[in-house]
Amino acid sequence: MNSKYENLFSSFTLPNGTELKNRLIMAPMTNFSSNSDGTVTDAEVQYYARRSSGVSMVITACTYVTPNGKGFPGEFGADSDDMIPSLKKLAKGIKDQGAKAVLQIFHGGRMCPPHLVPNQDVVSASNIPAEGDDNPTPRALSESETEDIIKAFGDTTQRAIEAGFDGVEIHGANGYILQQFFSPHSNRREDRFGGTLEKRMTFPLEIVHEVNRVVKEHADSSFIVGYRFSPEEQETPGITMDDTLALVDNLANQELDYLHVSLMDYRSKPRRGVKDLNKSRIAYLLETINNRVPLIGVGSIYTADDAKNALDTGVPLLALGREIIIDPDWVQKLAEGKEEEIITELDTDKQKELVVPDPLWNIITNTPGWFPGIH
């Protein structure tokens, strides 16, 4: 191994004492490839297994915690105990290759396509549709329904424990239901779940408390709990960088094992809400967290030097998303000093070799600009 990349391969101990063998993680990415009944397909298990031997931890695609939380076609479910055998297959496929398996738990809220949820009953914090054409107007959840969803996150965590996962990641990013409750765009409530910035934090924080309660009751201390968030929204009103720093400041005190920022580029800068718009979002986040909890950085890490530069920002852990689809052997190549052999553009003739399921492959290859090499 080239000595300048050694730090990427040093082990890292999470706050709960769990040791990760290196600083490289597979990012959660929707794959659209599950069965219509919400069970995991063999193609999905093979896709994950192919990418699980180099990284220290794999965070799965999101799984829905209630039937009305299904956000994507071909998304796998964890909304009932019937799903535990399916989840076991996925956890085993990852762990057999030597990586920690973390299940990302999720509810799509107003972003759910109506045809995927029972009675086309799309729900959210308030009856405000997402900006853009043809987005459904959601029904505002009652206070008791909101509490039921909080409990569902706990129930799904218990299923993850029973299925053999090493942890869960609470999906509070990318415009889904936790973010909808936190956002002044989508949350216009006047009960305990809305109004002030602090009240808009109630729903995500209660989910963290419920997940932690279930973990303490049903898992041992090595079970990992992480939280993913997006730093800002484009909408006005919407989440600003200073709103997120207030949330992150609170999350850093919640007995979490990591926070995970969702970014398209780890070098990105704030849009609004802070004094210095030339300072990176990562720098602001690290300053606010102040070593209380590890931060996972992600976004446009393709080459070995991209990874080194991202680690040099001060984040202790890096998640590889698109790059680990393009080159499933990325980590191994770097470890063996073969960084010159790392592939950074998708070869559209190598689907079988890359072990990418058909539905995911079709979306990637028909979305110009999403992956390097797809024009």
- Partners of 63 in beta bridges: 105
**Hunting for tokens 């309660």 — which residue is that?**
213
Nearest to 299 by CA among 276, 274, 282, 316: 282
State pLDDT tens for residues 172-223. 999 999 999 999 999 999 999 999 999 999 999 999 999 999 999 999 999 9
Residue 107 has a pLDDT of 98
Nearest to 261 by CA among 228, 287, 285: 228
Q: What is the mean pLDDT of residues 298-305?
A: 95
User: How far is 366 from 375, CA to CA, in rounded Å?
Assistant: 9
Q: Containing H/E element for 301? A: none
Q: How confident is the model at residue 302 (pLDDT cuts 50, 70, 90)?
A: very high
HEC sequence for 127-195: CCCCCCCCCCCCEECCHHHHHHHHHHHHHHHHHHHHCCCCEEEEEECCCCHHHHHHCCCCCCCCCCCCC
Judge whether 176 counts as a catalytic residue: yes
User: How far is 52 from 46, CA to CA, in rounded Å?
Assistant: 10
User: How far is 356 from 351, CA to CA, in rounded Å?
Assistant: 6
The values of phi and psi at residue 199, to 5°, are -70, -30
State pLDDT tens for residues 6-64. 999 999 999 999 999 999 999 999 999 999 999 999 999 999 999 999 999 999 999 99
User: How far is 157 from 167, CA to CA, in rounded Å?
Assistant: 8
Question: Cα 10 to the chain's mean position, in Å?
Answer: 23
Residue 286 has a pLDDT of 98
Domain residue limits, the chain = 3-365
Residue 128 has a pLDDT of 98
State pLDDT tens for residues 233-292. 999 999 999 999 999 999 999 999 999 999 999 999 999 999 999 999 999 999 999 999
Asked if residue 347 lies in contact with residue 327, where contact means CB atoms within 8 angstroms, the answer is no
Percent of the chain with pLDDT over 70: 100
Q: Tell me which architecture the domain covering 3-365 has in CATH.
A: Alpha-Beta Barrel (3.20)
Q: Which of 64, 176, 227, 258 is catalytic?
A: 176
Nearest to 98 by CA among 48, 33, 136, 64: 48
The values of phi and psi at residue 371, to 5°, are -110, 140
